[in-house]
Chain A
Amino acid sequence: TQLLEQSPQFLSIQEGENLTVYCNSSSVFSSLQWYRQEPGEGPVLLVTVVTGGEVKKLKRLTFQFGDARKDSSLHITAAQPGDTGLYLCAGASQAGGFKTIFGAGTRLFVKA
């Protein structure tokens, strides 16, 4: 069974601080996605990484895919209250029939 473990589960920080959240698995994925979800809404895709070692930047967000394609990280620089939300990593693999499985998420709260 493929699993994606996210850490930390919950993070509360002050505006302006930096943070990193992690997504780990013992399985190899063909791609990893990061989504952000706000209360009462569906997840919204932020980025997809497909190549081991790949780094993608989206404004203040930096996403990295591990060399072995088993893990990923999301780094946020100078967090803002608007970054508050549930960050979900999700992975797709051939072994899983290419359906996407999700981690339990990291709930981020940025205080003004």
Chain B
Amino acid sequence: DTGVSQDPRHKITKRGQNVTFRCDPISEHNRLYWYRQTLGQGPEFLTYFQNEAQLEKSRLLSDRFSAERPKGSFSTLEIQRTEQGDSAMYLCASSLAGTGSIGYTFGSGTRLTVV
């Protein structure tokens, strides 16, 4: 297993454009998490899935953000009508249900820059 993979690693987009990020978790992990990290801060929780079900969404996740995990494997995070404030590192992590409190395996992240 190659761990958690995120694509792309970097994305520069113009304000108002839509962007989509992909996360491939560790294959046997049924939980998948999305976090956002801005400069000088720790990761902030956005949302998580157990299998294909989205179980919780943060209030940070505005209507412009949507996440899916259609087959319970990979996940996508889409941001519509990007704003400069969306510039951040978007991190994906995975775990087995019931073991999340033991720790997550994170991907390398997607760094989004909105210009």
Bound pair (A, B)? yes
Q: What is the interface of chain A, defined by CB distance below 8 A to chain B?
A: 4, 30-31, 33, 35, 40-45, 48, 50, 88, 90, 92, 97-105
Is there an interface contact between B100 and A102, defined as CB atoms closer than 8 Å? Answer: no
Which applies to chain A's interface (DSSP): helix, strand, loop or mixed? loop
Q: How many residues of B contact A (CB 8 A)?
A: 25
Given A33-B103, A99-B100, decide whether A88 and B91 contact each other with a Cβ distance below 8 A: no
Given A40-B111, A41-B109, decide whether A100 and B42 contact each other with a Cβ distance below 8 A: no
B40 at the A interface (CB under 8 A): yes
Given A40-B111, A92-B100, decide whether A100 and B105 contact each other with a Cβ distance below 8 A: no
Q: What is the interface of chain B, defined by CB distance below 8 A to chain A?
A: 4, 6, 33, 35, 40-45, 48, 56, 91, 93, 100-109, 111
Is there an interface contact between A31 and B106, defined as CB atoms closer than 8 Å? Answer: no
Which residues on the A side are within 8 Å of B43 (C-beta)?
43, 88, 102
Give complex CA distance A42, B104 in Å.
11
